[in-house]
C-alpha cells in the first residue's frame, strides 16, 4: 500500500484543480517561500480528518477555502482527494484503489467520501487506523513541528510509540470496553435496587395469589361442568330449532306452491269473467237487434193486415178469415232454419188460396211485404239460432266457473289453514330462539364471554347429577369470596417484572465478567506489544542518534505514576498487578504515563531535552522518527521542512537515513535541502503566479539525468 495520487481543488492557494502523482520511495516538493509548498502537507492532513484549525494554520474552517486575490475571486468550496494503491489489501476493502475525499463549502456544509460514496469522519478515521494512521500520528509532520515530537512531553512521546506499534486501536477498544463495563455496572446496580424493592411486595402478592389459586381450582372445575351443561343445552335447543326450521321451510315451500296455484285460478277466473262480460254484451246487442226485428215483423204483419183488409173489401174472400189466420199462425209456428223454403211456399199458396182480388197494385204491395216479412222471419230465425248457441255456451261457462270457484275457495281455505300452521311454527321457533338467546346470555354471564370451545362440548346426553354438582361448586365459590382481579393482575405483572429483572441481572453479571475478561486480554496484548515496541524503538533510537550526531548517547525511559502523584522511572519488564475497581492494573501498561528521552550529544553534558539547541532537538526528533519508521514502517510520511535547522553535514546523514528507509516507507518531503532532493526520484516544484494561485511543475530525476547526459 502506498499513496498514489493527491488531487487538490480550491484548498488554500490551490485554486485550480491540481494533481500530484506519487510512487514508492522519496518524492520532494520544492519551491520558494510563500509559494504554497506547506499547503500540500496541510491538504494531506486535512483530508485525513484533521479537526484542529491551529495545525492547519487557520482560525475558521472556511480559511482552508481559496480566499481570492486582487485578480481572482474567491471560491465557494475546497476539495481534496487521496488515492491509495491497495493491491495488497492492507486497507480492508475489495477495491484495488481506495479514494478518500473531503469537501467543504462556505456555508459550513461538509462531507467525506470513500470511493465516491458518502461516509462519516469516524469511517475515515477507522479505515486509516486499520492501516497504521492516526489522528495524532506522525504521518504528517508540519513545518517547524519536528522538534515538537520530543518537546510535547513524555505523554505525547508515549502516544507516538503506541501508534507506531499498533497499540492505539487496542487502547480505543479498551476505552470502549471500559465505558461499556461502567454502563453495565450501573445498569446492574439499578437492576439490583429494583429487585430489592420489588421482592417484599412480590412475597405478599404471592400469598394472596395462592389463596386465589385455590379458588381458581374450584372455578376451573365449575367452568368445566358448566361447559358440559351449557353444551348439552345448546345442542338440544339447536336440534329443536333445526327441526322447527325444517318444518317451517317445508310449509314455506307448500305455501309458495299454493299461492302459485291460487294465482293461476285467479287469473283463469278473471279471464273467464272478462269473456262472460263480453258474451253478455254481445247477447244484449243481439236482444236489441232481435227486438227490432220483432218490431219490424209486427209492423209488416200490420201492413199485411191492412192490405188484406183492402183486398177483402174489393175482392171478396171465398174463405173464412179466421180459418186463414189459424192456418197462417200454424205455418209460422212451424218456422225453423231448415224448413224456411217450405214455409215460404206454404204462405204463398195460403195467401193465393184466400185472395180473389184482381187489384194488382195491392197484390204487388202484399207480395213485397211478404218478401220482406219472409226475410225478417229468416233473420229472426238466424238470431234465434245464434242466441240459443250463446246461451248454451254461457250455461256451460257458468258451470265451469262454478267448479273453478269451488276449487279456488278450497285452495284459499287450504292456504289460510297453512298460514295459520306456519304462524304456529313461527311462534314455536321464536320461543326456541328466545330460549337460545337466554342460554347464550347465561353462558356469557357465567364465563364473561362466549367461549369458542363450547362447540367441543355439544352432545345429546350428560350426567343427571350435573346441575346439582354445578350448584354445589357455585355455593363453594360464594363461601370462598370474590376474586380481586386487580391483585391477581398486579401479582402477574410483578412476577413477570421480577423474572425479567432477574434474567437481566444474570445477563448483566455475565456481561460484566466478559467485559473484565476482555479488558484483561487487551491489557495483556497492550503490555506485550508496547514492551516489544518500546524495546525495539529504544534500541534503534540510540543507534540513529549516534549516526546523526556522529557519537553521543541517548536513552528512552518509562515513567509510571505513583499513588502520591509523583512519577517514577521503570523498566518495561516490571509487572505488578494491583487490583483497582475489580480490574487488575498492570504496572507496565495501565500505570505508565509517558516516555522520557535523555539525549547527550558528543562532548556535552546535558540533563534535559530543553537544554538542546534547535538543530540538536530536530536531530533528536529525527532519530526518534527514523527509529519508529525502521521498526514499524508507515505506508507514507510527509515531512514539511524537517531538515530546515540542519547543517550540511547533518543534512547528508539525514538524507542517507531517509534513503535506507525509503524501501519500506514512502516519503514526501517538502524541503529546501539539496541533499534531501538528491535522494528523491521525483521533484515537484511549486510556484505562485500574479493571481496568488499555486501551480505545480514536476521533474523525474532519472529522466532529467538522462537528458542532461
Per-residue confidence (pLDDT) for residue 290, from 0 to 100: 65
Q: For the chain (length 709 residues), average pLDDT per consecutive 10?
A: 91 92 91 89 88 83 87 90 90 89 92 92 83 65 75 83 80 84 85 84 76 75 82 85 85 80 70 62 66 68 65 49 71 69 72 56 68 71 69 64 67 77 83 86 82 80 82 76 69 82 85 87 86 89 88 86 57 44 44 84 76 83 88 86 84 88 89 88 89 85 61
Q: Which residues contact 221 (CB under 8 A, 6 or more apart)?
A: 473
Per-residue confidence (pLDDT) for residue 52, from 0 to 100: 82
Task: Record the cell numbers describing residue 575, joined without a space.
Answer: 509487572
Per-residue confidence (pLDDT) for residue 559, from 0 to 100: 86
Per-residue confidence (pLDDT) for residue 17, from 0 to 100: 92
Domain ranges of the chain: 1-139+634-709
User: Coil, strand or helix: which one is 16?
Assistant: coil
3-state SS record for 462-498 = CCCCHHHHHHHHHHHHHHHCCCCHHHHHHHHHHHHHH
Please calculate the CA angle 495-501-502 and round it to the nearest 5 degrees.
85
Q: Grid coordinates 421482592 are at which residue? A: 199
Per-residue confidence (pLDDT) for residue 132, from 0 to 100: 66
What does pTM read for this prediction?
0.53
Q: Is 472 exposed, middle or buried (0-12, 13-18, 19+ CB in 10 A)?
A: middle
Does domain 1-139+634-709 fall under CATH 3.40.50.300? My reply is yes
Per-residue confidence (pLDDT) for residue 573, from 0 to 100: 47
Kindly provide the b/e burial profile for residues 98-135, where b requires at least 16 CB atoms within 10 angstroms of the residue's own CB.
bbbbbbbbeeeeeebbbeeeebeeeebbebbbebbbbe
Please calculate the CA angle 176-180-186 and round it to the nearest 5 degrees.
145
Radius of gyration of the chain (CA): 67
Per-residue confidence (pLDDT) for residue 583, from 0 to 100: 44
Distance CA 427, CA 437 (A): 15
Q: Does residue 60 contact residue 68 with C-beta atoms inside 8 Å?
A: no
Amino acid at each position: 500500500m502506498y499513496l498514489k495520487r493527491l488531487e487538490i481543488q480550491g484548498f488554500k492557494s490551490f485554486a485550480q484543480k491540481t494533481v500530484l502523482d506519487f510512487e514508492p520511495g522519496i518524492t520532494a516538493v520544492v519551491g520558494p517561500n510563500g509559494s504554497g509548498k506547506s499547503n500540500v502537507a496541510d491538504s494531506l492532513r486535512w483530508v485525513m480528518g484533521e479537526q484542529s484549525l491551529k495545525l492547519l494554520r487557520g482560525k475558521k474552517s472556511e480559511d482552508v477555502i481559496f480566499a481570492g486575490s486582487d485578480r481572482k475571486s474567491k471560491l465557494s468550496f475546497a476539495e481534496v482527494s487521496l488515492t491509495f494503491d491497495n493491491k495488497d489489501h492492507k486497507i480492508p476493502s475489495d477495491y484495488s484503489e481506495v479514494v478518500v475525499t473531503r469537501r467543504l463549502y462556505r456555508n459550513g456544509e461538509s462531507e467525506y467520501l470513500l470511493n465516491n460514496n458518502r461516509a462519516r469522519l469516524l469511517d475515515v478515521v477507522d479505515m486509516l487506523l486499520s492501516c497504521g494512521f492516526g489522528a495524532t500520528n506522525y504521518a504528517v509532520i508540519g513545518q517547524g513541528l519536528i522538534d515538537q515530537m520530543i518537546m510535547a512531553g513524555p505523554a505525547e512521546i508515549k502516544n507516538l510509540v503506541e501508534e507506531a506499534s499498533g497499540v492505539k486501536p487496542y487502547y480505543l477498544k479498551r476505552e470502549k470496553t471500559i465505558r461499556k463495563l461502567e454502563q453495565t455496572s450501573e445498569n446492574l446496580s439499578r437492576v439490583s435496587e429494583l429487585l430489592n424493592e420489588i421482592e417484599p411486595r412480590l412475597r405478599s402478592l404471592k400469598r394472596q395469589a395462592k389463596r386465589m389459586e385455590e379458588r381458581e381450582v374450584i372455578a376451573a372445575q365449575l367452568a368445566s361442568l358448566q361447559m358440559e351443561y351449557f353444551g348439552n343445552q345448546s345442542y338440544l335447543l339447536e336440534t329443536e330449532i333445526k327441526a322447527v326450521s325444517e318444518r317451517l321451510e317445508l310449509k314455506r315451500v307448500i305455501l309458495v306452491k299454493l299461492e302459485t296455484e291460487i294465482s293461476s285460478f285467479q287469473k283463469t277466473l278473471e279471464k273467464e269473467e272478462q269473456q262472460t262480460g263480453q258474451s253478455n254484451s254481445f247477447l244484449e246487442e243481439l236482444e236489441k237487434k232481435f227486438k227490432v226485428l220483432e218490431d219490424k215483423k209486427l209492423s209488416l204483419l200490420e201492413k199485411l193486415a191492412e192490405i188484406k183488409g183492402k183486398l177483402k173489401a174489393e175482392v171478396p174472400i171465398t174463405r173464412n178469415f179466421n180459418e186463414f189466420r189459424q192456418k197462417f199462425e200454424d205455418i209460422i209456428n212451424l218456422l225453423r232454419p231448415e224448413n224456411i223454403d217450405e214455409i215460404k211456399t206454404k204462405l204463398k199458396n195460403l195467401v193465393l188460396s184466400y185472395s180473389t182480388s184482381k187489384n194488382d197494385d195491392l197484390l204487388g204491395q202484399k207480395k213485397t211485404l211478404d218478401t220482406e216479412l219472409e226475410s225478417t222471419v229468416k233473420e229472426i230465425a238466424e238470431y234465434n239460432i245464434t242466441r240459443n248457441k250463446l246461451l248454451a255456451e254461457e250455461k256451460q261457462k257458468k258451470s265451469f266457473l262454478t267448479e273453478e270457484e269451488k276449487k279456488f275457495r278450497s285452495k284459499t281455505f287450504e292456504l289460510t289453514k297453512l298460514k295459520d300452521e306456519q304462524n304456529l311454527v313461527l311462534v314455536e321457533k321464536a320461543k326456541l330462539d328466545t330460549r337460545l338467546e337466554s342460554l347464550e346470555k347465561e353462558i356469557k354471564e357465567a364465563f364473561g364471554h362466549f367461549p369458542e370451545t363450547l362447540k367441543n362440548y355439544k352432545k345429546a346426553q350428560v350426567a343427571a347429577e350435573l346441575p346439582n354438582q354445578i350448584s354445589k361448586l357455585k355455593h363453594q365459590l360464594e363461601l370462598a369470596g370474590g376474586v380481586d382481579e386487580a391483585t391477581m393482575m398486579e401479582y402477574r405483572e410483578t412476577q413477570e417484572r421480577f423474572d425479567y429483572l432477574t434474567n437481566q441481572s444474570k445477563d448483566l453479571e455475565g456481561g460484566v465478567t466478559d467485559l473484565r475478561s476482555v479488558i484483561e486480554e487487551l491489557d495483556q496484548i497492550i503490555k506485550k506489544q508496547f514492551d516489544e515496541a518500546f524495546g525495539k524503538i529504544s534500541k534503534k533510537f540510540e543507534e540513529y542518534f549516534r549516526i546523526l550526531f556522529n557519537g553521543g548517547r541517548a536513552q528512552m525511559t518509562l515513567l509510571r505514576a505513583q499513588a502520591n502523584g509523583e512519577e517514577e522511572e521503570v523498566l518495561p519488564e516490571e509487572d505488578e498487578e494491583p487490583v483497582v475497581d475489580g480490574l487488575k492494573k498492570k504496572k507496565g501498561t495501565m500505570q505508565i504515563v509517558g516516555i522520557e528521552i535523555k539525549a547527550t550529544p558528543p562532548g556535552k553534558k546535558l540533563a534535559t531535552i530543553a537544554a538542546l539547541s534547535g538543530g540538536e532537538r530536530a536531530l533528536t526528533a529525527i532519530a526518534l522518527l527514523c527509529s519508529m519508521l525502521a521498526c514499524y514502517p508507515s505506508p507514507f510520511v510527509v515531512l514539511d521542512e524537517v531538515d530546515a535547522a540542519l547543517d550540511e553535514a547533518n543534512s547528508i546523514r539525514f538524507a542517507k537515513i531517509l534513503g535506507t528507509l525509503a524501501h519500506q516507507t514512502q516519503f514526501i518531503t517538502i524541503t529546501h535541502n539539496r541533499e534531501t532532493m538528491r535522494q528523491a526520484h521525483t521533484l515537484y516544484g511549486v510556484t505562485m503566479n500574479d493571481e496568488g494561485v499555486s501551480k505545480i511543475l514536476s521533474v523525474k530525476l532519472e529522466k532529467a539525468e538522462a537528458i542532461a547526459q
